[in-house]
Amino acid sequence: MTEGAHPETLAELLRTLERSNDLRTLARDCGLSVRELRRRLAIWRRELQADDDDDPGAVPVAAVAVPAAQDPAGTWPELPPAAVLVTNPLPEPGGVLEIHTDGASRGNPGPAAVGIVFGVKDGPALCVHGEAIGRATNNVAEYRAAVIALEHCRRWGVRRVHLVMDSELIVRQLHGAYRVKSPDLRPLYQQVVFLSRGLQEFRVRHVKRELNAHADAVANRALDA
């Protein structure tokens, strides 16, 4: 941290980190490039400042959400397919598995795929799953991604799951804020509810699309395959 800096708010702390001489070390510890870490710090600081104007006590979800790491070229590291892992991929079995999911459809409905990134909460990505699912809408693909992710968790015996999605509709439905009226979505919603009941901890969080870019890239790669 810059010598003599005494930040009093989280936004000021983020600004101090952006200017820190130790940013390279921090980026390496986070598995990010310096440029990418600085970009994310700036985004989170602006969002915090915008929220502070409306509610000084509020901390936006996006400010604490950490997507999977990017390298300097803007791509992601090669990770093992989730399907080949037979045991819990978490380094600490009792920890939280944070899962970024995304569904992609070209045509809506049209050729569709899912992208899933499994990782340590606020830590590195561990494995991925990408799969073409035939013809579907975006919303169906989003739900299918959540279902497939939870099926992997059940197979691994994971007990604590935080699901991260950029579909506000699906997140609100899973929170119970919106009713699931679509006959295409209701069976998938019920599958998510069923699979989550066996978990010790299950949370669903909405993030902006740019914070779900890794899962989106996995889904689109599956579509292009």
Residue-level pLDDT at 225: 83
Domain regions of the chain by residue span: 10-64, 82-224
The verdict on domain 82-224 having CATH code 3.40.630.30 is no
**DSSP H/E element including 201:** strand 201-206
Reported as a pLDDT band with limits 50, 70 and 90, residue 68 is: very low
Tens of pLDDT along 171-217?
Answer: 999 999 999 999 999 999 999 999 999 899 999 999 999 999 999 99
For residue 161, give Cα distances in angstroms to 44, 73, 150, 196: 24, 30, 9, 9
The dihedral built from the CA positions of residue 175, 49, 45 and 22, taken in this order, carries a sign that is: negative
Q: What's the confidence (pLDDT) of residue 66?
A: 34
Across the chain, what does the average pLDDT equal?
81
Over residues 48-70, the mean pLDDT reads: 40
Please give the residue that has the higher pLDDT: either 48 or 105: 105
Q: Is the pLDDT of residue 39 over 80?
A: no
Higher pLDDT, 25 or 135: 135
pLDDT of residue 56: 44
Structure pTM?
Answer: 0.69
Predicted pLDDT of residue 77: 83
Q: What is the DSSP letter of 122?
A: T
Question: Span 132-155, mean pLDDT?
Answer: 97
Residue 107 zone, left/alpha/beta (φ > 0; ψ -120 to 50; rest): left
